[in-house]
Chain A
Amino acid sequence: MLSFFKKVTEYAKDAVGAANYLAQGLAVTFDHMRRRPITVQYPYEKLIPSERYRGRIHYEFDKCIACEVCVRVCPINLPVVDWVMNKETKKKELRNYSIDFGACIFCGNCVEYCPTNCLSMTEEYELAAFDRHSLNYDNVALGRLPTSVTTDPSVKPLRELAYLPEGCMDPHDIPQDKSRAGKLPLEVLELMNSEDNSNQKDEKENQTVFIKDKSEE
């Protein structure tokens, strides 16, 4: 009899616990409703890509020395470097260069290793096409510069979450000159320089403290 009551109590406890968890879950969902939608109304609003965004690759034909380093470092040997040896000058003559963005994984290896810096990554990500063959960009297409989101008059640029001012969650209606949370790389550099100066002074003191710590152990 007692064990039966024990079972019933346990059962009731389980049920109450389940109801409790459910209520907590509901509270979380309910709390989400008062937050602002994070929707970006895409064709009219666009996020500003970050500085290191790895988008479509830009290529400068005139800088290229046809060394094929980019082909070797590419995981799938993607770039096509079409050159011929000019017997007279004993130099490579570049005829054509192309990258197929239907196959590229935007890893950035080619950009990293190019000895002449003729490759670079842009912030362009709208590569949709009706035909996959038109994703194979030749040197002319690769040489085009993308329209920046911030300069396009038909688009409202929005800052990404990490670039919003402190305490601000909504990218709409933020004054242009308001700086992002935290420090810009330049400011960090300045800070580090000034710290370096003061650190040099403190160095001696620190060292003695350090030695003291050791001896205490």
Chain B
Amino acid sequence: MTVLVASVNSGIDIELSFNEALKNVGVSPEIAHLLWIPFPMGLVLIAAVIGVLVTVWLERKISAAAQQRIGPEYAGALGILQPMADGLKLLTKEDIIPARADGLLFTLGPILVLVPVILSWLIVPFGQSLLISNVGIGIFLWIALSSIQPIGLLMSGYASNNKYSLLGGLRAAAQSISYEIPLALAVLAVVMMSNSLSTVDIVEQQNGLGLLSWNVWRQPVGFVIFWICALAECERLPFDLPEAEEELVAGYQTEYAGMKFALFYLGSYINLVLSALLVSVLYLGGWGFPIPIEWFASWTGQSIDAPLIQIFTASVGIIMTVIKAYLLVFLAILLRWTTPRVRIDQLLDLGWKFLLPISLVNLLVTAALKIAFPIAFGG
């Protein structure tokens, strides 16, 4: 895996300059590479955690607005520090392992839920080469990693020694298994158009004509399927059966407290942000500005490789990705306060009898269109 955190067109390669600097001090290039490794890891963690903090704050504020409340107000200006306060509270709470629970699995469960989600951030691109690792199997890695999650959920559900937890864990696993299939099929249609699993290639392929060449126009059905499935995978409200308060107390989280609960909480929000980012990557042109940056550059008479333009492109890329992702998060929160929770049979009906056939048809139609109009649907 190549580790790259650099600006557009590798004009400014941070890793390279880091290694150069260390070499000048007299460190061998291999050791320099080893020393470099923690940086992208830390970057992912920080980005994910900040993303979560912002999302939690947004969730609280937008929920409050939708219900004509004020929401958090006293912790910092506009309650901006409230998520931090929540986190601190969870940190200082007692770490309880129930008496008849299975201590080892009980501890391992939340970790198994959180780690794959954080790992999946590896493939989220914020710019041409502004991503942690441009793995060839890109989006497939995410699908594979997110299939580890049900194991963690089952584990914590089983280890809690509580019927609600077990039911919640089973429900969560059933849900994420059944929605993984239409999700993968929707992704497959996109992959078919861009001829690559790599997230960078997928975005590149959408950015020829700015707004007009985004995948939403070519894959409207796929977009809807993907979004529904992503919400189901994140256990967001129309599909939050695993933790349905009225029936299951809190599902697999029932027995958890303190930091272990915080891991679940963090995991679900990181997953939400990740899903939103991936929707923007797959369907909304990722880091692309609605008007191609190249046109802008040629209009100002600058070459695309000029350092100023590069820095500008990089920052626009990051901002565009984040804006698109947060618009989707906003939509998810609106959906949360609009739709009632579905029943388990309705959930499975929707997954198997609606989304699965539709996504198969979508795949078929995409393949046919690709053969019929290779220009518009990727040669």
Task: Decide if A and B touch, CB cutoff 8 A.
Answer: yes
Identify the A interface with B (CB < 8 A): 15, 22, 25-26, 28-30, 32-33, 35-39, 41
Closest to A32 in B: B66
Q: Once the chains bind, are A29 and B338 in contact (CB under 8 Å)?
A: yes
Q: Once the chains bind, are B335 and A26 in contact (CB under 8 Å)?
A: yes
Q: Once the chains bind, are A32 and B67 in contact (CB under 8 Å)?
A: yes
B70 at the interface (CB under 8 A from A): yes
A37-B66 in contact given A22-B338, A25-B339 (Cβ < 8 Å): no
CA gap between A30 and B337 in the complex, in Å: 10
B28-63 contacts to A, CB under 8 A, are 62
Q: Once the chains bind, are B339 and A22 in contact (CB under 8 Å)?
A: yes
Closest to A31 in B: B66
Classify the interface of chain A: helix, strand, loop or mixed: helix
Closest to B358 in A: A15
Identify the B interface with A (CB < 8 A): 62, 64-70, 334-335, 337-339, 354
Please, could you name 13 A-B residue pairs with CB atoms under 8 Å apart, sorted by A? A15-B354, A22-B338, A25-B338, A25-B339, A26-B335, A29-B334, A32-B67, A33-B62, A37-B65, A37-B70, A38-B68, A39-B68, A39-B69
Q: Once the chains bind, are B338 and A33 in contact (CB under 8 Å)?
A: no
Closest to A15 in B: B354
Contact pick for A37, options B68, B334, B335, B338, CB 8 Å: B68
Closest to B335 in A: A26
Closest to B224 in A: A19
Q: Once the chains bind, are A26 and B69 in contact (CB under 8 Å)?
A: no
CA gap between A15 and B357 in the complex, in Å: 13
- Please indicate the chain B residues that have their CB under 8 angstroms from the CB of A36 in the complex: 68
Contact pick for A26, options B65, B67, B338, B354, CB 8 Å: B338
Q: In whole Å, how far is B121's beta carbon from the nearest beta carbon of chain A?
A: 29
Closest to A33 in B: B65
Q: In whole Å, how far is A25's beta carbon from the nearest beta carbon of chain B?
A: 4
CA gap between A36 and B64 in the complex, in Å: 11
- Please indicate the chain B residues that have their CB under 8 angstroms from the CB of A35 in the complex: 68
Q: In whole Å, how far is A19's beta carbon from the nearest beta carbon of chain B?
A: 8
Q: In whole Å, how far is B30's beta carbon from the nearest beta carbon of chain A?
A: 55
Q: Once the chains bind, are B64 and A37 in contact (CB under 8 Å)?
A: yes
The 7 A-B pairs of least Cβ separation, nearest first, read A25-B338, A33-B65, A29-B338, A39-B70, A37-B70, A38-B68, A37-B68
Closest to A27 in B: B338
- Please indicate the chain A residues that have their CB under 8 angstroms from the CB of B67 in the complex: 32
CA gap between A170 and B240 in the complex, in Å: 35
Known: A22-B339, A29-B66, A37-B64. 12 other contacts (CB 8 A): A15-B354, A25-B338, A26-B335, A28-B338, A29-B334, A32-B66, A32-B67, A33-B62, A33-B65, A35-B68, A37-B70, A39-B69
CA gap between A15 and B62 in the complex, in Å: 28
CA gap between A180 and B334 in the complex, in Å: 35
- Please indicate the chain B residues that have their CB under 8 angstroms from the CB of A28 in the complex: 338
Q: In whole Å, how far is B179's beta carbon from the nearest beta carbon of chain A?
A: 17
Q: In whole Å, how far is A69's beta carbon from the nearest beta carbon of chain B?
A: 45
Q: Once the chains bind, are B68 and A32 in contact (CB under 8 Å)?
A: yes
Q: In whole Å, how far is A41's beta carbon from the nearest beta carbon of chain B?
A: 8
CA gap between A29 and B62 in the complex, in Å: 10
CA gap between A41 and B64 in the complex, in Å: 14
- Please indicate the chain A residues that have their CB under 8 angstroms from the CB of B62 in the complex: 33
Closest to A24 in B: B338
- Please indicate the chain B residues that have their CB under 8 angstroms from the CB of A15 in the complex: 354
- Please indicate the chain A residues that have their CB under 8 angstroms from the CB of B69 in the complex: 37-39
Q: Once the chains bind, are A30 and B354 in contact (CB under 8 Å)?
A: no
Q: Once the chains bind, are A33 and B66 in contact (CB under 8 Å)?
A: yes
Q: In whole Å, how far is B329's beta carbon from the nearest beta carbon of chain A?
A: 15
Q: In whole Å, how far is A5's beta carbon from the nearest beta carbon of chain B?
A: 14
Closest to B65 in A: A33
CA gap between A41 and B69 in the complex, in Å: 10
Q: In whole Å, how far is B299's beta carbon from the nearest beta carbon of chain A?
A: 36
CA gap between A123 and B65 in the complex, in Å: 31
CA gap between A39 and B65 in the complex, in Å: 11
- Please indicate the chain B residues that have their CB under 8 angstroms from the CB of A26 in the complex: 334-335, 338
CA gap between A63 and B151 in the complex, in Å: 75
CA gap between A35 and B66 in the complex, in Å: 9
Q: Once the chains bind, are A29 and B70 in contact (CB under 8 Å)?
A: no
Closest to A30 in B: B334
CA gap between A120 and B136 in the complex, in Å: 80
Closest to A35 in B: B68
Closest to A19 in B: B224
CA gap between A142 and B135 in the complex, in Å: 77
CA gap between A30 and B338 in the complex, in Å: 9
CA gap between A30 and B333 in the complex, in Å: 10
Q: In whole Å, how far is A35's beta carbon from the nearest beta carbon of chain B?
A: 5
Q: In whole Å, how far is A112's beta carbon from the nearest beta carbon of chain B?
A: 37
- Please indicate the chain A residues that have their CB under 8 angstroms from the CB of B334 in the complex: 26, 29-30
- Please indicate the chain B residues that have their CB under 8 angstroms from the CB of A41 in the complex: 70
Q: In whole Å, how far is B174's beta carbon from the nearest beta carbon of chain A?
A: 23
- Please indicate the chain A residues that have their CB under 8 angstroms from the CB of B339 in the complex: 22, 25
Q: In whole Å, how far is A34's beta carbon from the nearest beta carbon of chain B?
A: 8
- Please indicate the chain B residues that have their CB under 8 angstroms from the CB of A38 in the complex: 68-69
- Please indicate the chain A residues that have their CB under 8 angstroms from the CB of B337 in the complex: 29
CA gap between A41 and B67 in the complex, in Å: 16
Contact pick for A32, options B65, B70, B335, CB 8 Å: B65
CA gap between A15 and B335 in the complex, in Å: 17
